[in-house]
A and B are shown apart, each in its own frame.
Chain A
């Protein structure tokens, strides 16, 4: 294990320069350091003006997603020793998002889209609290559990070439979260979400590249969620054509 690592870090300081630059740092790297530890060392001891997001450092908050050596990763979960030893480590903000500053991208688009698909329990009528919990067997829970594990890190958006080329695309994580609610036995909002998701910028923009599922750190498999939804949406459309009155 070499004593120091060369880090090339993307810098964007809109107040001083219209174009971004790359800064190089020689960082003494401990054996068990993550990329995030190196960034913290730079900020604390070398250049306090480096701006980036981080919080939990245990892979559950989703703050620290960045593009490292071209790959979208969580910097708190990427060992420096897992990267090629002889080359500098290139760290830049997650691709696909407008850069506000240094390693920070704007993710408001994601929040807007979560609202659009009604990513919450939708019910005609709520059961009174005195009636206790909705019964949900472990089997029913397993139907949507995987999609509920999304930490909103947005690595999937960064990996998706469709989102990069057409940012109106609703995107992998939001569709997976919509599915999480569709498949939850307590929810009754599938039809409502279908209206939003079967629009052009919904599931039909997806051409199943599959990279979103590859980079997801929590194995949510948004690609699978979208393809399943396409099947369901197609069947639903067919039914509405063949049995126009039977649908609603």
Chain B
């Protein structure tokens, strides 16, 4: 088996991974870095983010304001020490990205421009038209290319983390182009593999968002935190699930039901004004907007479309000039994928799965509970997003916590000896498993697509915007059944050269583990908070549940759920108020 050795191994080449790699190299140019990504880094899902990245930069804003908006947005489930670090380091990280060439949109005098965004009292969202994630990713990727100590393992798929002697020492990965299985040893490993939106059927997420890193960490004993908190973005296109950015509402868009009525005013989100009012109406937090949609649907006030119930996003009153200057991509997407021009037509939208607030539990330095294993970005849960994430915080999180994880991993790797020889036995075992259980197996009657669709349906029905015990329980049983049936899966492709069926199969096994974590965390949390709404427990319960759920992997059976109290520093829990 081929073995390579590096100081820091980074799994995932999106915004967080690239930022971490640059941070490692800046901290210590002598360290050798490996970036392993199952796709070429510029294909990572960071590229699809649109609206913007938040950081305090203007005179009318303050760190405490950004912190308070984030904390109240999270329904007090975030760790306030992590949020304080986040808001404090955000401005410098964003300036650094600007220095690296990110084409931020500007004021006429050349300074950075900011726009209003959901749940924020003051404008602080930096933006690059409405392709912010695209520009951030390409800036980070092109900047990372200049560091000679980075070795790029493009289109390599990590199947297992190697943990021995109480520390993570690297990973086993398949080189997709040849099918060869390699061992990548490292003194520190950082997971930056993103979220797992693809466990649901309708999502803004790309095909590649299958939670591989979360599953890898889960299986070596790192707990997954707050997995039940999954964000529905209020404005996705029906059928495709393609994202229509929150910036469309930030610039002044309205959400209308079938009567052309701005229905959000009925849901404690303020009163409708012609211009956008921050933290009010369409600029409320995403969980409340998605919940309002469900209520409208239940009372028959949504519009029936060939793809199910929708509401309308109206940006006609902004005019073509503003649309083409500030949100041109929205117009392009509507023209291409819905065959409508938002300058004249209403955009059909509905809530679609968008982001995982939960993920691998880390501290504020990006360290997981497994020594030598770090995580940053959507794969991690620090937590700054708590029960609901504010739009434009996640792109900034990639930079702040990506850099922090990089620096900690760099420091850690210098204290570590080389890998134990015992680790190679584990690697050979993994190679044997891949061949025996997948590539060489000729029996089996389950199809990957079939199991995947059943999993997605179970998640949609049991773990949607509103949940209750019975729905969650039957979904839990379904997921458990699917995990059993997974052992009878048969690959359509048993070759070695770029076997995407094998990748899809391994991704499915990752998703099944994560689906179980989501459902069981949701079952145990008997309260409603942020994005986790239980119709059988409709109130927020700070006495019992001002804690993070921690899901621990068990070999055969559902994950074990424990609780970790939330860290409160300066903002005691209060009512979450919008629209005033």
Contacts and interface: CB of A to CB of B under 8 A. Distances in A.
Interface of A: 13-16, 32, 43-45, 47-63, 77, 100-102, 104, 106-108, 111, 114-115, 118-121, 126-127, 129, 132-138, 140-141, 144-145, 148-152, 177, 181, 184, 186-187
Nearest to B103: A148
A107 B40 contact: yes
Interface in B279-312: none
B492 A47 contact: yes
A53 B39 contact: yes
B134 A60 contact: yes
B111 A138 contact: no
Contacts of A132: 95
Contact of B500 (A51, A60, A121, A181): A51
B249 interface: no
A151 B134 contact: yes
B176 to A, nearest CB: 9
Interface string B232-261: 000000011011000000000000000000
Interface string B429-459: 0000000000000000001110000000000
B333 A58 contact: yes
B177 A100 contact: yes
Contacts of B110: 135-137, 140
Interface in B31-70: 39-40, 42-45, 47-48
A151 B43 CA distance: 9
Given A54-B207, A56-B206, A138-B105, 13 more contacts: A13-B495, A32-B239, A49-B495, A57-B206, A58-B48, A58-B333, A61-B47, A77-B336, A100-B498, A121-B101, A141-B106, A148-B103, A177-B142
Interface string B154-181: 1000000000000000000000010000
A113 B143 CA distance: 14
B95 A133 contact: yes
Nearest to B205: A56
A48 B492 contact: yes
Contact of B100 (A104, A108, A120): A120
B108 A134 contact: no
Interface in B481-499: 491-493, 495-499
A114 B152 CA distance: 14
B109 A58 contact: no
B104 interface: yes
A61 B448 CA distance: 25
Given A54-B207, A126-B99, A114 B40 contact: no
19 contacts: A49-B495, A53-B39, A55-B208, A56-B43, A57-B242, A61-B43, A61-B44, A104-B498, A120-B142, A120-B146, A129-B95, A132-B95, A136-B106, A137-B108, A138-B105, A141-B103, A141-B106, A150-B138, A152-B138
A55 B155 CA distance: 13
A13 B448 CA distance: 21
B154 A108 contact: yes
B191 to A, nearest CB: 19
Contacts of B239: 32
B499 A51 contact: yes
Interface of B: 39-40, 42-45, 47-48, 92, 95-96, 98-101, 103-106, 108-112, 131, 134-135, 138, 142-143, 145-146, 152, 154, 177, 206-208, 239-240, 242-243, 333, 336-337, 447-449, 491-493, 495-501
B349 to A, nearest CB: 15
A182 to B, nearest CB: 12
A49 B337 CA distance: 28
Nearest to A186: B101
Given A115-B145, A152-B42, A141 B105 contact: yes
A54 B39 CA distance: 9
Contacts of B447: 44, 48
A117 B21 CA distance: 21
A16 B495 CA distance: 9
A129 B48 contact: no
A118 B98 CA distance: 18
A186 B100 CA distance: 9
A177 B141 CA distance: 13
Nearest to B499: A51
A33 B131 CA distance: 25
B141 to A, nearest CB: 9
A128 B336 CA distance: 43
Contacts of B142: 114, 119-120, 177
A140 B500 CA distance: 44
Contact of B448 (A48, A51, A104): A48
A51 B333 contact: no
Contacts of A107: 40
Contacts of A47: 492
Contacts of A141: 103, 105-106
Nearest to A30: B239
B491 to A, nearest CB: 7
Contacts of B44: 61
Contact of A148 (B109, B138, B491): B138
B441 to A, nearest CB: 14
Nearest to B242: A58
B396 to A, nearest CB: 15
Contacts of A104: 498
B40 A121 contact: no
**What are the nearest 4 A-B pairs in CB distance?**
A48-B492, A135-B110, A44-B449, A49-B493
Nearest to B239: A32
Contacts of B105: 138, 141
Contact of B109 (A32, A61, A108, A135): A135
A186 B101 CA distance: 7
Contacts of A52: 500
A136 B497 CA distance: 47
Contacts of B492: 43, 47-49
Contacts of B96: 129
A155 B241 CA distance: 25
Contacts of B92: 129
A45 B449 contact: yes
Contacts of B501: 43, 48-49, 51
Contacts of B101: 120-121, 181, 184, 186-187
